[in-house]
């Protein structure tokens, strides 16, 4: 190496570093924003799917219970006779019925019938079932949550038979059994209309056909 030769060193200037950092910052913000949007969309989709599943399961249980209605009267907590199917706007249970098809794989000494009820507590729809048909004062139901954030739960019943009194064929009633002048206590509707008022999705109505019992 001669004295006239010099070593040349190359590198980034301060301006180039600032430009590179600026580009990196902009790209980071864009990537973070896109990732956040993907996460938000995924969370909204999961919430929507969970809500839809909840609603479908509630209607599915109604369908199963109404299709397996059985003509068997029961006794209430105080020994009073209860109809096979009954619904009122008063009290804890909005709808009560007797259904069959209660599986018994263990062969236990119990009936294949079940007493089922639906009711709303604290803006939540619950399904209740009892281990006995004729209840005593200490007979407590097993409660299963069906729907959350529910503002309304309305029922209508389509009359089946012609007879003197208030019940007429194809007449819609908001309570069951109807008040009639006939001797029969247990008359059954053709169908039940179930309406849910949800906080987030509004109103949903389904019609369920009862079997001939």
- Domains in the chain (CATH in brackets) are 63-209 (3.10.610.10)
Q: Is the pLDDT confidence value at 4 over 60?
A: no
**Cα gap 87→118, rounded to integer Å:** 10
Q: What is the largest CA-CA distance in the chain?
A: 127
pTM above 0.85, yes or no: no
Integer CA distances (angstroms), 154 to 24, 29, 186, in order: 58, 50, 22
Judged by average pLDDT, the poorest of 4-8, 37-41, 64-68, 181-185 is: 181-185
- Please tell me which residue, 124 or 36, carries the higher pLDDT value: 124
**Cα gap 104→112, rounded to integer Å:** 7
pLDDT band, very low/low/confident/very high, at 124 (cuts 50, 70, 90) = very high
**C-beta separation of 209 from 191 below 8 A:** yes
pLDDT at 164: 45
Q: Is the pLDDT confidence value at 11 over 70?
A: no
Element (H, E) at 25: helix 14-67
């Amino acid at each position: 190496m001669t004295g006239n030769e010099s070593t040349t060193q190359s590198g980034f200037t301060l301006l180039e570093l600032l430009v590179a950092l600026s580009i990196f910052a902009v790209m980071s913000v864009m990537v973070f924003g896109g990732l956040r949007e993907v996460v938000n969309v995924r969370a909204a989709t999961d919430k929507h799917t969970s809500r839809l599943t909840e609603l479908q399961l509630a209607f599915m249980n109604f369908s199963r219970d109404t299709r397996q209605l059985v003509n068997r009267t029961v006794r209430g907590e105080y020994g009073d006779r209860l109809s096979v199917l009954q619904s009122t706007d008063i009290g804890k249970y909005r709808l009560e019925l007797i259904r069959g098809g209660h599986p018994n794989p263990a062969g236990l000494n119990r009936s294949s019938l079940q007493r089922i009820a639906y009711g709303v507590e604290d803006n939540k729809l619950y399904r209740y079932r009892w281990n006995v048909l004729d209840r005593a004062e200490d007979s407590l139901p097993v409660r299963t949550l069906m729907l959350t954030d529910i503002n309304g739960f309305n029922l209508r019943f389509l009359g089946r038979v012609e007879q003197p009194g208030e019940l007429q064929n194809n007449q819609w009633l908001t309570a069951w059994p109807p008040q009639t002048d006939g001797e029969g206590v247990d008359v059954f509707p053709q169908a039940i209309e179930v309406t849910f008022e949800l906080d987030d999705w509004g109103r949903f109505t389904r019609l369920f056909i009862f079997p001939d019992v």
